[in-house]
Amino acid sequence: MRNPVEGWSKPQLAEFLAFVSSFTEEKSAMRGGVERAAEVLDAEVGALVRGGSVEASIGFASAEVPEEKLLAVASGGGYAVEVLGLGTCVAAAAALDDGQNGQLIVARCGDDAFSQEALDLLRGMAGVLALVLKMLRALEGERSLRERSGHEIGERRKAEQQLAHQTIHDVLTGLPNRTLLRDRVEHALERSKRDASTVGILFVDLDDFKAINESLGSPVGDRLLVQVAGRLGETLRSSDTKARFGGQTLSCWGGDEFVVLCENLNSEQNAIRVAERIAAALAPPFLLESSELRITASIGIAVTSAGQSTRDELIHDADTAMHRAKERGRDRYEFFDADLRARVVGRLNLERELGQAIGCDDLRLVYQPIVSLADGGVVGVEALVRWQHPERGLLAPAEFIPLAEESQLIVDLGTWVLEEACRQSARWQQPDPDRPSLRVSVNLSARQLTDALPEIVGNALRRTGVHPTRLWLELTETLLMETAQSATDILAALRALGVRIALDDFGTGYSSLNYLQRFPLDILKLDRSFISRLGSEPSAFMIVAATIDLGRALGMSVVAEGVETPEQLQCLRDLDCHFAQGFHFARPQRPEAIPDLVSGRLPSQDPNQPPP
């Protein structure tokens, strides 16, 4: 039976298809198809032309038939070719119809043309060969796609695994991070409920790590953290530690803080032994940058039995105990106990009450006069905040300012002090507009030194009508050093408002001349620790004298703080200091007492007269 399309029999079709399909590569299939076509048609030579070039040949190349002659036959431009060694040959071509203009060409010796049956057979062969080539390309594309897809799937899975690992592990040390630790603590507490076991948390904070980072650079600090993590991990993985103290998880809580989860503790004493092992592991020096570094740690310990504490309570308790270790000298461990819990609860209550006091009338300002040493007149006051607690009475700043700093209430508290000081300054000026301007000095916290501060100060001045030159803002040396990068622009913006900037407690911090030149400062306030030694220590006199000369050279006014005796006052006058304040002149006063002090002048011009 003849194939109505190709003009050849099914056995011939099956034979040729089977023959060509036995080749697994396209190039092999092309050559095999040419060879089989020449054989079936009793031809001497054969070739396959595709895309304007000869891609497969079994006789033409050796017979040195010019390629352009074969291209002419393929395009229908000739049916006779001269083949070296064979003479004139009759050629026949059949299109492959494979989408690439392929032509299957065969030629045989003599001048007898191919019969119609032979031509039909040639076209059928070309069709089958084209089909096989398409199949091979499709299979190759599918295989390549499978390989590419498999590679992409593998890379995606690898990336997902890396992302999942990074989500619950610290990038620097590779230790579990706080997310994974919280999960493990949760499970440990659940197990402790079932078997009535004890779970412990050790919160480890490296002492003075910030100084290492600042002096040697963060890359050195990072390498130190990696080494610390390695030592702690080796200590906790030791067989003796596991046998005696149960399962443990070392995690990186963040920065220079590590947290150790201990399960199946038999007693609190075992938690202490783990802390001692950690301290011992950190004792040998670390070799970094060809130098030895020694590091210690403050460790807080909290334990719970049978799941009596929640996950967050247990971690927070250990953190609190760690801070108590810091307060008590560092390089030690502290337990979270009932007394500490009572302190924490009391602190939380005080924090809540302070937040309420800022919005009520429980806060008040008192003012300590600042005196001109040239004539003894009061030229300004420093605003100092007090808290009239409903149960504990009048609280000094030392009893609640540190709490405000830690809880971030200091921003609201500082804004209230600024607004109230400006309002009081306006009140003092209203009864007598011709009264000499009284400068008001307000202390700033590090948390207030943000880009929003100039706007806050500007709004306070506009609302109260106080002239900017009557407002002094005091900052400490330490505050400026900690915020040096951003402080310059902020202080410049405040100076642009007309506000004066004072550097408080000068001499107790960095005291760098570079910083004095870098920051836009107007006033140096010499710390009371130097003033207290005037008259008794010659070195103190030299330091105070040098500071006054330095301030004068830099165009700054100098205020001496903590003046308490006539001898101190006389020394300051001898040194031509500009201003002073202290108990020798007056203790902090209620606002209603200030006008009398301003108008009456303070009785401090006689150095032999006792302080009021």
- 554 band by pLDDT with thresholds 50, 70 and 90: confident
Closest CA to 95 of 58, 53, 125: 125
Report pLDDT digits (tens) over 232-287.
999 888 755 554 555 788 999 988 999 999 988 877 788 888 999 999 999 999 98
Report pLDDT digits (tens) over 464-507.
999 999 999 998 877 776 666 678 888 899 999 999 999 888 87
As beta bridge partners, residue 333 has 299
How far, CA to CA in Å, does 4 sit from each of 1, 126, 255?
Answer: 9, 15, 82
pTM, 2 dp: 0.54
Nearest 10 degrees: Cα torsion 580, 584, 585, 588: 100
- 610 band by pLDDT with thresholds 50, 70 and 90: very low
Q: Are 383 and 581 in contact (CB under 8 A)?
A: no
pLDDT for the residue 514: 65
Output b/e per residue, 2-12; b: 16+ Cβ within 10 A: eeeebbbeeeb
The residue that leads in pLDDT, 366 or 409, is: 366
pLDDT for the residue 211: 84
- Identify the three-state secondary structure at position 451: coil
pLDDT for the residue 608: 40
pLDDT for the residue 463: 93
d(CA 38, CA 189): 84
Which residues fall within 8 angstroms of residue 14, CB to CB, at 6 or more apart?
none
d(CA 267, CA 324): 22
d(CA 118, CA 69): 22
Q: Return the H-helix or E-strand segment holding 393.
A: strand 393-395
pLDDT for the residue 607: 39
Task: Inform me whether the pLDDT recorded for 113 exceeds 90.
Answer: no
The residue that leads in pLDDT, 149 or 504, is: 504
Report pLDDT digits (tens) over 187-216.
999 888 888 888 999 999 999 898 888 788
Q: Are 207 and 297 in contact (CB under 8 A)?
A: yes
Q: Are 265 and 303 in contact (CB under 8 A)?
A: yes
The residue that leads in pLDDT, 399 or 385, is: 385
Report pLDDT digits (tens) over 16-46.
766 776 666 778 888 888 888 888 888 888 9
